[in-house]
Amino acid sequence: MYNTERRAEQARLTRARILDAARDLLLADGFFAMTVPLLAQHAGVSPQTVYNAVGGKAEVVKAVYDGLLAGDDDPTPMSQRPGFGAVVEALDAAAYARAYAAWCRRIWDRVGPLLGVILAHGPGGDVVLEEFVTTIDRERRTGNANSLQGLRERGELPGGRSVDELIDVVWTLTSPEVYDRLVRRSGWQPAAYEAWLSVQLEAALTY
């Protein structure tokens, strides 16, 4: 039992070291510059260890993204975390907008810099990057739909507009591209982004 636990802890530490190195490489030089051999060198392991511990480049990038998104290694889904609970439990559009804007700010403060450098030049025809973008877009849209569930159940969504249309709007307003344009590229403070997003979300759900 002892040896099994020790091996499991060693594997966890090795994976964490690889992902830390991958995060640093991605933030410094972007997606296209990071290769598995280079990552292995920076992490002090063999390329095969990278494959065994995490996977190929696609799995490494997604694991780095997921870790930054959550802010920890707790396996609790984002939709079940207290911050998101405040969004779902909001009683009206104004409360929803404030809660969701605060939630998005916290997330993009953690993962926004990574997405900024990864997506700076677009997918560029790279299959791995295209799949990554498709995956996170799909996951975000699912999260956006979940965020509106409370207002929908309480009859607080505006009439005359489909739920899909409202999800489209929320999906667009809360996108990492919008955060990146305002915070990284235009120099907004995160608090200003949060305030702006809150106003836009409330407006989108009340007209």
3-state secondary structure 133-147: HHHHHHHHHHHHHHH
Task: Report pLDDT digits (tens) over 139-169.
Answer: 999 999 999 999 999 999 998 889 999 999 9
Rounded to whole angstroms, the Cα distance separating 55 from 47 reads 10
For residue 191, the SS3 value is helix
Q: What is the CATH code for 2-69?
A: 1.10.357.10
Beta strands in the chain (DSSP E): none
Question: In this structure, what is the dihedral angle of CA atoms 172, 173, 178, 182, given to the nearest 10 degrees?
Answer: 170
In this prediction, residue 146 carries a pLDDT of 94
Domain boundaries, the chain: 2-69, 76-204
| Per-residue model confidence as pLDDT tens for the chain (207 residues) | 557 888 888 999 999 999 999 999 999 988 889 999 999 999 999 999 999 999 999 999 999 999 998 887 777 777 777 778 899 999 999 999 999 999 999 999 999 889 888 877 666 668 888 888 889 999 999 999 999 999 999 999 998 889 999 999 999 999 999 999 999 899 999 999 999 999 999 999 997
Count of other CB atoms within 10 angstroms of residue 30 = 15
Q: CA dist 109 to 71, 131, 140, 166, 176, Å?
A: 10, 23, 16, 25, 10
Task: Report pLDDT digits (tens) over 168-180.
Answer: 999 999 999 999 9
161: which 2 tokens?
A: 């507009």
Contact partners, residue 114, CB within 8 Å, separation at least 6: 23, 26, 27, 64, 65, 68
Task: Report pLDDT digits (tens) over 33-43.
Answer: 999 999 999 99
- Phi and psi at 77, nearest 5°, equal -55, 150
At 99, the amino acid letter reads A
pTM: 0.84
In this prediction, residue 123 carries a pLDDT of 60
Rounded to whole angstroms, the Cα distance separating 125 from 169 reads 27
Residue 77 Ramachandran class (φ > 0 left, ψ -120 to 50 alpha, else beta): beta
